[in-house]
């Protein structure tokens, strides 16, 4: 049961981060299709948003290890 709790503690934030990154990428491509001359601005905002989404997954694994200990 403890292994299941550990898996869910990390899997749910990782799933949320993965979905968030997918939505960010789709929105960035949509924005790029509408306004191609803003490539550098869109890329910068996309990378910043992906970093914040990945931070959720990193926090999730840290919480999972703390809860397991």
The DSSP string of 25-62 is: HHHHHHHHHH-GGGHHHHHHHHHHHHHHHHHHHHHHHH
User: Under a CB-based contact definition with an 8 Å cutoff, are residues 39 and 32 in contact?
Assistant: yes
Q: What is the pLDDT of residues 32-51, one digit of tens each?
A: 999 999 999 999 999 999 99
pLDDT of residue 47: 97
Q: Give the residue, 27 or 1, on which the prediction is more confident.
A: 27
Residue 43 is predicted with a pLDDT of: 96
Question: What dotted CATH number matches 2-68?
Answer: 1.20.20.10
Predicted structure pTM score: 0.84
**69 pLDDT above the threshold of 80:** no
Per-domain boundaries in the chain: 2-68
CA–CA gap between residue 18 and residue 14 (Å, rounded): 6
């Amino acid at each position: 049961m403890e292994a299941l709790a550990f898996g869910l503690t990390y899997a749910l934030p990782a799933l949320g981060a993965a979905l968030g990154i997918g939505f960010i990428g789709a929105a960035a491509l949509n924005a790029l299709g509408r306004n191609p001359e803003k490539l550098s601005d869109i890329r910068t905002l996309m990378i910043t948003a992906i970093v914040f989404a990945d931070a959720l997954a990193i926090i999730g694994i840290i919480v999972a290890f703390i809860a397991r200990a």
